[in-house]
Structure 1
């Protein structure tokens, strides 16, 4: 008989501004503990929001507030050349 192993999907990572410093945290932690803090994409530094999928297996995802074609984390828009977001958060 084969044993089944549950695989836990890892949460995407974003950066959260805490006391003036950008910290890299999993999106589920950012969603749970830092809802009101600014969040940015770790690749392009564009503003992101966390969004929940509340199904049988809750999952948090990241969404860019404004899409652009220089972020590899937006596969459907990525043009192949990484670039900071035009409205990158510093």
Structure 2
């Protein structure tokens, strides 16, 4: 297993290998994955996902791409008593 390399170095390796991976045939893709896993210490599935990403993204770029801030998935409402809900509504 390879020694630890920095996140910046991992990004550089992925950006260099990505185009070669996308244009390669199936057998060559396997060799590229083996090289990447040996270099970074990643599992193959993680390497595949890293190579298939559209572009290398930095922290916070999701919200910048879409021009909006992430919204909370759930909102809390104060309970209100109704005769049909047993005292609370959701």
Q: TM-score, normalised by structure 1?
A: 0.26
Q: Relative to total residues, which structure has the larger helix share, 1 or 2?
A: 2
Q: TM-score, normalised by structure 2?
A: 0.26
Larger Rg: 2
Q: Relative to total residues, which structure has the larger strand share, 1 or 2?
A: 1
